[in-house]
Chains A and B, each alone.
Chain A
């Protein structure tokens, strides 16, 4: 299972998840990323929550407490307009990164 080694990838994954799913709590993000990547990526809680907190400080995401379907209180995160912009930039950067790395790997 791949770990999130590339700097900033976690932020990208979280932002993308929120843009696709709308509002989600931390656990939901972990589960979504694991499922959506067919179990290839697993986010560690130890790094997820500091990242969420940091992104909230930068106003990329906003949070509020709400009830889950099972009537449990949880903190839900959603993308802000700043976060949407940030997501676009991050996606672009990632494309470049992937292209570059692939080019290096396939260099004969």
Chain B
């Protein structure tokens, strides 16, 4: 049944009712005119009754909702300025918050792909330097045996293997794990078997489990791969299994080959700390209980083996904390920023809706007078609000899709590999749920905002313009509050962006102790089978340096066991100062073996003493150079030059011959730890970095560095060839600081724009409503300047409230983000003042335009217009 037919029927029925009454009235002796009047009077409002009758029809209700939708569309279409602004603003807000939420979901919310991941723990040794250090094989065995809180404790270590293929030797990412590692995670191979108990002892035959990716790319997914042999680090290993496709373990990176723990297990040396560990908490055991149990074991070990374990404790952390703990504050900050932006966007659109409902009073009043029920009028607003929210959400989701993709592209590849949980990044169920929730909240907000402004009384008085003034004050009041809220939110975001930007600037311009330009570096790994002896390693290093030195443009070349700006400083060693009584806990420091020219190549600054010389080799007494932090920590108020240290009672004494300025060995945003530099010639290694300073662009040198090394020995693995500047730019700390500064900066810019537009809108509206008043003022002889003052005072008051409230909120917010600031205080006066100034100027500009318009009102026209 079509709507028009139903309407015609209703119409006919109601008319026949009136006609019947007229007939009766005539029969009762009334005059024709009286009869008609009485019938109509008794019947009441015909249109309204018709609406009510149609409202009782469900089919018609659906139909009327459709017509409401069409009407809402037409309304938006008729006001393209309003519609586009509102939808664009909402899309921006939605896009930002959904994209950031997708990251939060992938990193913080989605559970790890292991069995009951909440019971998995990461175990570390704590040392006087900090809570998270590697543990030694023997300590691991003791922990595993003595603990009462874990159902299993498993060790792992990520290493690079030299894989011998048919044509060459390749470097592949690998890990070595104890036998129960995969069972503890709750992961089983999809082909073949897991490591058996006891297979992780050095005497057991070598076995290896390959990742799904390696199975696919290196073995063509062949089913007969089990039992085949691969040569890793020169030793044949039998393949016994393939891991599931979606398995990943972030702490070992993109691992292709998993061997049973043997490379890193040293059953003699308790002081050799190189392992990490995971454990599964027994049912019913709390994290506190686990921590205290592990601490007491560590204390007992420290007593039992004071040489190696003195001062060492144990750290138990949930595995999720280990994996994503450092990202949490940054992500939460970004999410807060995005949500704040969304809030501003919503407030802005609500403001626009208020202005619109104000301007539509007349239309509403007419529709009401024509018989539209109150319910129907309200439904119209709800429909429009829902439509706005829906369109904004839909476009926001699409934009977020693109934004997520873009953010993923902007991430350095090696960082993505370190964060396999980002694989699941995208519009999954969680993210869509979040989007729908925001959409619904917005729909509610946008439907309620205009409805709040439309009381029944308004509908009656709407036709008479007299009712305007009171409602106008209410609106300006509400609108003004909204704008002040918007400005203060923008202020918070701007301050956040300012602080993060300053942090990033400080980070990039922090003194890292050497000259980063024109430096190229590359890591080398020589096969132990042919470079096992110290002399071989020293000779190789010398050969490599000689050859590289002859490359065009190379000014100097050096070798170092580790180079600065690593994601983890690491490489720790314990030592004692000879001639000083041991004071309970042991001294600990990072150690680096470097070649003679290292400090001059990277251009580090010598504070006192001397650099290494060619004479410092195995035949001479051991020497070391320490950094400033070392001096500060262990020789406060003393002169360390000439003093002697040793690793322990069994090793020779080492004389301190020089002090260098701190080189940033670890992440840029962390304090430099004490470092001992020893001559490479006295403590050589088969793995080291080659560092070259060039006259031209270091980028050009990278290829020839690799070629040179392979000319010397094709079996030497080379990797991570990069310039020092790239290394710094791609480091995790740089990326986190840069991306958070950029994103929050972007949010802040949009927030500033929205806030200023909101203020402009409010003032412009107020001016348009006061045209007559201003006209009268001018006609009465008011100066134009006093009109300016009138309008600017109103704007200034709002801006001042917004900025003041924003100032307080931003100091609070900033102190919450202290953790991720670098070299910047949360209450940085410069930033606060700068942001306040920017906002004030923007607010002034935004209100100047309407003020100018007000001051140029022609009094005659203003009065005539009314």
Contacts and interface: CB of A to CB of B under 8 A. Distances in A.
Interface of A: 25-28, 30-31, 44-47, 49-54, 57, 68, 70, 72-75
Contacts of B43: 45
A45 B10 contact: no
B44 A46 contact: yes
A25 B52 CA distance: 18
29 contacts: A25-B17, A27-B17, A27-B20, A27-B21, A28-B20, A30-B17, A31-B24, A45-B43, A45-B49, A46-B45, A46-B48, A49-B10, A49-B14, A49-B17, A49-B52, A51-B56, A52-B53, A53-B10, A53-B56, A54-B56, A57-B57, A57-B58, A68-B20, A72-B16, A72-B19, A72-B20, A73-B12, A75-B12, A75-B16
Contacts of A74: 13, 16-17, 20
B23 interface: yes
Contact of A45 (B17, B57, B58): B17
Interface of B: 9-10, 12-14, 16-17, 19-21, 23-24, 42-45, 48-49, 52-53, 55-58
A73 B23 CA distance: 13
Contact of B23 (A45, A49, A70): A70
A46 B49 contact: yes
Given A49-B10, A68-B20, A72-B20, 4 more contacts: A27-B16, A45-B17, A45-B42, A50-B49
A45 B20 contact: no
Question: For chain A, what secondary structure do more than half of its interface residues adopt (helix, strand, loop), or is it mixed?
Answer: helix
Contacts of A52: 53
Contacts of A27: 16-17, 20-21
B16 A25 contact: yes
* Most B-side CB within 10 Å, residue of A45, A54, A68: A45
Nearest to A55: B56
Nearest to B27: A70
A59 B53 CA distance: 16
Contacts of B53: 49-50, 52-53
Given A27-B21, A57-B58, A72-B23, A49 B49 contact: yes
Contacts of A25: 16-17, 20
Contacts of B58: 57
Contacts of B44: 44-46
Contacts, number: 63
Across the A-B interface, give the 5 residue pairs with the lowest CB-CB distance, nearest first. A27-B20, A53-B56, A54-B56, A50-B52, A50-B56
B459 to A, nearest CB: 18
Nearest to B42: A45
A54 B59 CA distance: 12
Contacts of B21: 27
A54 B9 CA distance: 15
A47 to B, nearest CB: 8
B473 to A, nearest CB: 36
A90 B341 CA distance: 57
Given A46-B45, A57-B58, A75 B13 contact: yes
Contacts of A53: 10, 53, 56-57
Contacts of A51: 56
A30 to B, nearest CB: 8
B19 A49 contact: no
Contacts of B17: 25-27, 30, 45, 49, 74
A72 B19 CA distance: 9
A78 to B, nearest CB: 15
A54 to B, nearest CB: 4
A44 B14 CA distance: 13
Nearest to B23: A70
A19 to B, nearest CB: 21
B660 to A, nearest CB: 91
B52 A46 contact: yes
Contacts of B57: 53, 57
Nearest to A29: B17
A30 B57 CA distance: 22
Contacts of A54: 56
B374 to A, nearest CB: 14
A3 to B, nearest CB: 14
Contacts of B42: 45
A72 B12 CA distance: 11
A70 B22 CA distance: 12
A46 B13 CA distance: 13
B330 to A, nearest CB: 59
Nearest to A26: B17
Nearest to B50: A49
A57 B54 CA distance: 11
A43 to B, nearest CB: 11
Contacts of A57: 56-58
Contacts of A72: 16, 19-20, 23
A95 B17 CA distance: 32
Contacts of B10: 49, 53
Nearest to A28: B20
* Most B-side CB within 10 Å, residue of A31, A46, A72: A46
B338 to A, nearest CB: 48
B14 to A, nearest CB: 7
B782 to A, nearest CB: 53
A42 B761 CA distance: 53
A46 B40 CA distance: 12
* Most B-side CB within 10 Å, residue of A28, A44, A50: A50
A105 to B, nearest CB: 32
Contact of A50 (B9, B12, B16, B55): B55
A72 B15 CA distance: 11
B6 to A, nearest CB: 9
A106 B779 CA distance: 73
A45 B52 CA distance: 11
Nearest to A52: B53
Given A49-B53, A53-B53, A73 B16 contact: yes
